[in-house]
Structure 1
Amino acid sequence: MSYWMETAPADTHPPLTADTEADVAVVGGGVAGLATAWELTRAGRRVVVLEAQRVAGGTTGHTTAKVTALHNQVYDHLRRTRGPAGARMYAHSQQAAVERVAEVTAELGIDCDLERRPAYTYTTRDSQVAALRAEAEAARDAGLAAEFTTTTGLPFPVAGAVRVDHQAQFHPRRYLLALVADLVARGGRVHEGTRVTGLTEGDPCRLTTEDGHQVTAGQVVVATHYPVFDRALLFTRLSVHRELVVAGPIPETADPGGMFITSEDGKRSVRTAPGPDGRRLLIVTGESFTPGTGHAPEGFRRLEAWTREHFPVTGITHRWAAQDADPTDTVPLIGPLHPGARNTYVATGFAGWGMTGGVLAGRLLTALLTGEEPPWARLYDPRRMRSALRELPPFLKHQAGVAQHFVGDRLSAAGPRAVADIAPGTGAVVRVGAGHRAVYRAPDGTLHTLSARCTHLGCLVSFNAAETTWECPCHGSRFGTDGRVLQGPANTPLARRDLDEGEAGSGAGEEPAARGDGED
């Protein structure tokens, strides 16, 4: 369990049990959805939040929780692809989100361990120093108080780093649960355990839940991290990565005194938080991989070994993982859901910087829904196809990867491997005739057999042994061993399939192919 989830238990909110109406329906109860709902409620709108599981419990409950406008090495790239004006708008809007968190924390008196800290992007390699010097210059030109330095609080030497002062870190769950309490006190409604499966656009719009209830709303915001409704085919412009996190106490004297990130070694991100007994909790993130393709157990071992090598942790007390969606052209997608949309909006593609991105989305979407247009609205507009085409190489690379998994995984998956080879507590995709089954053997030996075809667009899932989940390598959908959806864009469970231990490779049990819950 993540440290944030463990240390901030939440009140439950009832599922939707009847049709209802609202001015605005927000689908998704993470940072983007809750920030948007809270801002809209303060603006006088009647808002209902619909969350498939628990609010602030998905990606937001498993984040590193850095609140900073320094996003690794983004500003030199933006200066080249969006021009100096685009880089300045990005910096201004992201820093405004940092300040918004501080303002709201003070206004509501939220006890969320908010701390002002410098943020660093660093390298240990001389070959990368020139790139970081260029990043420091670009960030400074964009309006951030950025500087290049060779001195940090890290317990090892660096070749260079970009430093931006007066950034922040906090406890994300405590912050967002306080927003939930305030929006409910102001008349907003929150429904957990309410999965939305249908959207009919219009004036008004109508949402349908998996239980058949309808929500009628003048406007709809899709803030499900990865869009579960995608009328603009945003999945072609989003790639997904998953990262591992380890945490453990260190002496307060060993606190490096900032937030740090590097792309080296499969990424390393470091921060601390107030810990027990006057110590600090060190939080280290890294070992980035595509869901369904990584070796998470080995990744956790590498990340823990790196942490112990560089910091005096007294023990690893927490391990968890987080998932992020990266836009092919770098900038998040916040605004109208598709070119013809009038009453539907989306917020996605925060690329690992969802704390500022989500807060920014709340302010930007509230402005758009109330008839305003901030100067940076066009920068984040999801309809910016010209920008996407300018970033054609990463776009094509992403599509090639999806195609490789869609076709290649079917050719290489498991083959005639016997179900009897699957050890207790593990899972594998096995071939049954021309199709595939996702088979998990519980510790007591019981088999749980599902269709191996992801219900989003039909790629084959793969087993994540570290988290005991099925994951889709194409667009990041994640499922429990019972088939339930843990993370979208899929919003339909994996279909259950019967299977005898002797069936693998026999062709028995095949059914005609069908999009979603059929076989290939």
Structure 2
Amino acid sequence: MRSDAEADVAVVGGGIAGLSAARELAVAGLSVVLVEAVRIAEGVTGNTTAKLTAQHGSIYAHLKDAFGIDAARDYATAQSEAIARVAATADELGADCDFEMRPAFAYAQSDEAVAGLKAEAEAAREAGLEASFTTDTGLPFDVAGAVRVEYQAQFHPRRYLLALAADFIARGGRIFEHSRVVDVESEGDRQRLTVESGAAVLCREAVIATHFPIVNRVRLFPRLTPKREFVVAAPIPAGADPGGMYVTTEQDTRSVRTAPYGAGERLLLVTGAAFTPGDPGAGRQLGKLAAWTANRFGTRDIAYRWAAQDNTTPDRVPYIGRMPGGDGLYVACGFGGWGMTNGVVAARLITGLVTDAPPPWAALFDPARFHPVKEAGPIAANSKTAVKHLVGDRIGHAPAHSPDELEPGQGAVIRVEGRLRAVYRDDDGDLHTRSATCTHMGCVVGFNDAERTWECPCHGSRFDTDGTVLQGPATTPLRDESV
């Protein structure tokens, strides 16, 4: 983005939440600008396993117990309407996005988990979903039980979003890629969004859909817990397709589905091995996930592997809506690993607020909500984590105590001349040294040895080995401290 732009609404973030919101607002007749730090549909959304489901683990029993059955019904309604919205939009736009209807299962292999699964099935039914308890699945191994929810879906998110973007542009919308927003300021009744180039977007209202918000006006930072998960994918015979979408919280979480692939084959996608960004041993976690997939599904070779990141709120409900104290600012974050439906929920909710026609379930997602009993523990844990990483304890996990000890491909936080530095030795043997202090709020980064990135354990910012920002909320690179 090289020059200033003006619009009724600016949307920051080109994932499913941002693009869906931009199009919904354009359909409502507003002028809209979308600003994306890198490229649209290539960030978290581009790395998802893309389940379009209202079956989010044990969410309905949790909501029923914590907030009452009406909250569970609102959540189920919002998610189910999102699935229907994607189906209708894909059909309207003729999007070739591999949209497939599939049942969704939350399963367990331990007998101790059966009572909880039965309670979840009952709560999901009360919430309005066609849910049942079963011991019969298409998985190639036995389960003690599962919650089965009918009429769910899966799709190819990037193809869908590119069709959405084309329609948005046809409606007069503007998209600026490679335009990272570095500052958001209120100027009277307008918002001013400044990008790296120095250019700005002036708008009446702005939607922050950057996964982890780049502004903290509702004190969201300590209320979001980042986690990162690996995905491995391998072709399997079409006859071995388990015929649904599966998730379990056992064995460090495992999520399974398939997608169209070649003739007579399906592509098996398995997600799991969750870890805090920057924690040591990411490579070991990836190895465990690949081994689990081979053991359970007989895969010989992993064709693709990548990682995705998400943030969870203390009460497991996303923050979507107006930012208190930031007139004209809206936020969508904290999707907890279920961003495909929640991103569409965010688009409809925010568009409803902007046009004074919010959906009836809007209050459930209000970012200003606070439940002291439910949230005190997670917030305290997040604050403790932040304090710990502000003082650089991660240096004890380093594979080396001196830059000279690093092997090619290794990185470590090392104290050099009294300062903590993020030191990486590339495959040619050259050292790359940056400050180990995250530019977001000052926590000490850690090295992800599987993806060769520097990552902040406090709020999930990620940096390339040259310090470049890969993922926010940080907006500026790690400082060069080469010696």
TM-score range, shorter chain: over 0.9
Indicate whether 1:284 and 2:260 are aligned: no
Q: Distance in 2 between matches of 1:394 and 1:55?
A: 32
Q: Find the partner of 2:357 among 372, 380, 403.
A: 372
**Which residue of structure 2 lines up, in the alignment, with residue 188 of structure 1?**
173
The change in CA–CA distance for 1:415 and 1:105 in structure 2 (over 3 A counts) is closer
1:294 positional shift: 4.4
- Conserved? CA contact 2:400–2:406, under 8 Å: no
Indicate whether 1:483 and 2:467 are aligned: yes
Indicate whether 1:469 and 2:425 are aligned: no
- Conserved? CA contact 2:319–2:334, under 8 Å: yes
1:407 positional shift: 2.9
Indicate whether 1:143 and 2:118 are aligned: no
Q: Distance in 2 between matches of 1:389 and 1:405?
A: 26
Q: Find the partner of 2:310 among 314, 324, 343.
A: 324
**Which residue of structure 2 lines up, in the alignment, with residue 241 of structure 1?**
227
Q: Distance in 1 between matches of 2:55 and 2:254?
A: 15
Matches within 5 A, 1:160-309: 160-201=145-186, 202-309=188-295
1:389 positional shift: 4.8
Matches within 5 A, 1:41-56: 41-56=26-41
- Conserved? CA contact 1:69–1:167, under 8 Å: yes
- Conserved? CA contact 2:399–2:412, under 8 Å: no
Q: Distance in 2 between matches of 1:472 and 1:153?
A: 39
Stretches of structure 2 that go unaligned for 5 or more consecutive residues are none
**Which residue of structure 1 lines up, in the alignment, with residue 389 of structure 2?**
405
Indicate whether 1:351 and 2:336 are aligned: yes
Indicate whether 1:34 and 2:4 are aligned: no
Q: Deviations over 1:246-302 (max 9, x none)?
A: 001000000000000001111100000001123100000010110011422111211
1:414 positional shift: 4.8
**Which residue of structure 1 lines up, in the alignment, with residue 87 of structure 2?**
102
**Which residue of structure 2 lines up, in the alignment, with residue 496 of structure 1?**
480
SS in 1 for 2:43: coil
SS in 2 for 1:391: helix
- Conserved? CA contact 2:217–2:325, under 8 Å: no
The change in CA–CA distance for 1:380 and 1:415 in structure 2 (over 3 A counts) is same
Q: Find the partner of 1:440 among 410, 424, 440.
A: 424
**Which residue of structure 1 lines up, in the alignment, with residue 65 of structure 2?**
80
- Please give the root-mean-square deviation of Cα atoms over the aligned residues, in Å: 1.4
Q: Deviations over 1:397-448 (max 9, x none)?
A: 2222222222351674659922110111211111024320101111111111
1:125 positional shift: 0.2
Q: Deviations over 1:1-40 (max 9, x none)?
A: xxxxxxxxxxxxxxx1101101100001011000100111
- Conserved? CA contact 1:413–1:431, under 8 Å: no
SS in 1 for 2:72: helix
- Conserved? CA contact 2:98–2:155, under 8 Å: yes
The change in CA–CA distance for 1:433 and 1:415 in structure 2 (over 3 A counts) is farther
1:304 positional shift: 1.0
- Conserved? CA contact 1:335–1:347, under 8 Å: yes
AA in 2 matched with 1:483: G
Q: Distance in 2 between matches of 1:196 and 1:401?
A: 27
1:210 positional shift: 1.3
The change in CA–CA distance for 1:116 and 1:413 in structure 2 (over 3 A counts) is closer
SS in 1 for 2:291: helix
Q: Deviations over 1:107-126 (max 9, x none)?
A: 11110000000000000000
The change in CA–CA distance for 1:159 and 1:410 in structure 2 (over 3 A counts) is closer
- Conserved? CA contact 2:350–2:358, under 8 Å: no
SS in 1 for 2:312: strand
Length-normalised TM-score, structure 2: 0.98
Length-normalised TM-score, structure 1: 0.91
Q: Distance in 1 between matches of 2:397 and 2:194?
A: 36
Aligned residue pair count:
482
